[in-house]
Structure 1
Amino acid sequence: MKKIYFLCTGNSCRSQMAEGYAKELFPSDKFEIRSAGVEKHGLNKNAVQVMAEDGVDINQQYSKLIDLNYFNSANLIVTLCGDARDKCPVIPPQATSIHWPLPDPAKATGTEKEKLQAFRKVRNKIKDNLFELVQNYK
């Protein structure tokens, strides 16, 4: 079974959304999907909301720190922000590494509507990236 690990700073938004989509798109009998952060910030309610709008329930996911055992056995490691890429442990030799430089929607300012739009924009980019990844990573 192939292991995919999505990493970002606080494992509250981007990596959680990527994990949610990946679990929908990759066959569970061939892929184990996890996410984590270099810190734990808790699952962001706006991430949960915008994913639910697209039919993906991430409500039961939770913020986790990088598990070095899983990290060292992963086949694919995807960093979703510069902080995770820069603070990430050395990528193990068997793993492929991909970087998706996505802005942190949790740092969006403005009205609640504007903040949710920032989350939707990042969610849509993650979804597009994952559709491409599914096509190219077997």
Structure 2
Amino acid sequence: MNPIMHTYLLENHISLTDIARSGHLELTTIEELCRGPLNRLPIYLLKTLANTVEQSPTQVLEDLLKLELQHTVLLRTDLDHLTIMDVPFADQASYKRGRDMLLAYIRAGFSPSILDVKTVRSALERQHS
């Protein structure tokens, strides 16, 4: 098994015997084992899953694009209040640059956290001063 996948399963107290029965991992099985929707999992893990699961490459790509879209929604950007994941930005220019940076981060395969949003905001504030 892929070491990334193995580590993730261990960190989440998922027994390998839970998934050994079918001989391969199925997305629905992982979703049940993780007790939550797959779009909350880090994209690096989903890519590992996609390689482990027996699917066609086009299906995997479509699924990852859908997940990227869901992650974009998960960023919860609010232009009216200039917030991203409830982290306020000083002005509209900073907000837009921060949002663009975080979307690039998602496209690179990462799932931004609130700490990441605050780090981006701090970096943008330092650039202005």
Q: What TM-score results when the alignment is normalised by the length of structure 1?
A: 0.27
Q: Larger relative CO (CA 8 A, sep 6+): 1 or 2? A: 1
Q: Which has the higher helix share?
A: 2
Q: Which has the higher strand share?
A: 1
Greater Cα radius of gyration, structure 1 or 2? 2
